Amino acid sequence: MGVTFNSGYGFTAIIVAFLGRLNPIGILLAGLLLALTFIGGEAAQTTLQLPASAIQAFQGMLLFFLLAVDILSNYRVRIGKGVVA
């Protein structure tokens, strides 16, 4: 018997590593957060009849919002008038 590996976990691992900031404790916490979204997503699929893509969209938004916060904080993007230094 061959060992099977579910597809999609590689992308989830990338999200977990990025959310955890490559810190072992952060990766553990991020893994727990994403595990809760998977479990909650499965429960929402059965009780609320949501499609699986809705849960994936939520996880994608979580990643993109974190990326946006990183960009806005690291590059100090300021909205409004003023002199660009």
Domain extent listing, the chain: 9-74
Per-residue confidence band for 24, with pLDDT thresholds at 50, 70 and 90: very high
DSSP per-residue codes, the chain: ------TTHHHHHHHHHHHTTT-HHHHHHHHHHHHHHHHHHHHHHHHH---HHHHHHHHHHHHHHHHHHHHHHHTT---SSS---
Per-residue confidence band for 27, with pLDDT thresholds at 50, 70 and 90: very high
Q: How far is CA 77 from the centre of its chain?
A: 23
pLDDT at 42 over 70: yes
State what percent of residues in the chain have pLDDT above 90. 13
For the segment 54-72, the average pLDDT, to the nearest whole number, is: 84
Q: Are the beta carbons of 48 and 70 closer than 8 angstroms?
A: no
* Segment 64-75, tens digit of pLDDT: 898 888 887 887
Kindly report the pTM of this predicted structure. Answer: 0.69
